Amino acid sequence: MTIGVLALQGSVAEHIKMIKSVNKKIDAVAVKTVDELAAVDALIIPGGESTTLRRLLNEFNLLIPIKERILAGMPVWGTCAGLILLANRVEGEYPCLSVLDVDVKRNAYGRHSESFVGEGDFDGMYINMVFIRAPFITRVGDNVTVLAECNDRPVAVRQGNVLATVFHPEMTRDNRVHKYFCGMIDAKV
């Protein structure tokens, strides 16, 4: 089984390292082309800057192929900027992939200097959560499950094969959220 990490911008190496630490049988590779996308069983869209990622997705002709794979059931996980790209609605902007029924507001936790580490329960596991210029999830659709909250706000959500976290598990030493994502693929293959 191979998990791809979209490698246009953002925390790519960190995700690859984490996935490789979960299980020797699961490989993780960088994805930059349509052919590389076709070769993976699941995809992580990392954090970074969603406006830049969106532009690069178009430039590399990856937007439609990724959307088609997600709609066909490929497990996908967006962290922070990745969540913004997956969301159905982004305050003040056009949505990008529109495969997750949530509304988001970019940079709502404040500036880079206001980045922080929170903590909370993620699907029964107590974890640290790293927030870096993170968005708020301001609405959650009926078909979306909230997997984690922090300071009374939803910070991890799932809609079928789509997982999204406001925070960055790849910036910690705890690989349990990566393990959870691997479980979403196991359940499929």
Active site annotation includes 182: no
Contact in structure between 164 and 76 (CB atoms under 8 Å): no
Q: Does 8 bind ligand GLN (CB under 6 A)?
A: no
Contact in structure between 8 and 57 (CB atoms under 8 Å): yes
Give CA–CA dist 21/13, Å, rounded: 12
Residue of 42, 62, 74, 106 interacting with ligand GLN (CB under 6 A): 106
Q: Catalytic pick from 15, 170, 178, 182?
A: 170
Q: Catalytic pick from 80, 96, 150, 182?
A: 80
Contact in structure between 171 and 14 (CB atoms under 8 Å): yes
Q: Which is nearer to ligand GLN, 84 or 150 (CB)?
A: 84
Q: Does 97 bind ligand GLN (CB under 6 A)?
A: no
**Contacts with ligand GLN, 47-86, as mask; x by CB under 6 A:** xxxx-----------------------------xx--x--
Q: Single out the segment in contact with ligand GLN by CB under 6 A; choices: 42-50, 68-76, 118-126, 156-164.
A: 42-50
Contact in structure between 102 and 136 (CB atoms under 8 Å): no
Active site annotation includes 168: yes
How many residues form the binding site for ligand GLN (CB under 6 A)?
A: 11
Active site annotation includes 80: yes
Q: How far is the CB of 142 from ligand GLN (least distance, A)?
A: 26
CA angle 158, 162, 99 (to 5 degrees): 110
User: What sections of 48-100 are H helices per DSSP?
Assistant: 50-59, 63-71, 81-86
Residue with tokens 């708020």: 136
| Residue 90: strand, helix, or coil | strand
* H or E element that contains 115: none
Chain residues that interact with ligand GLN, rule: CB under 6 A: 47-50, 80-81, 84, 106-107, 132-133
Report the catalytic residues: 80, 168, 170
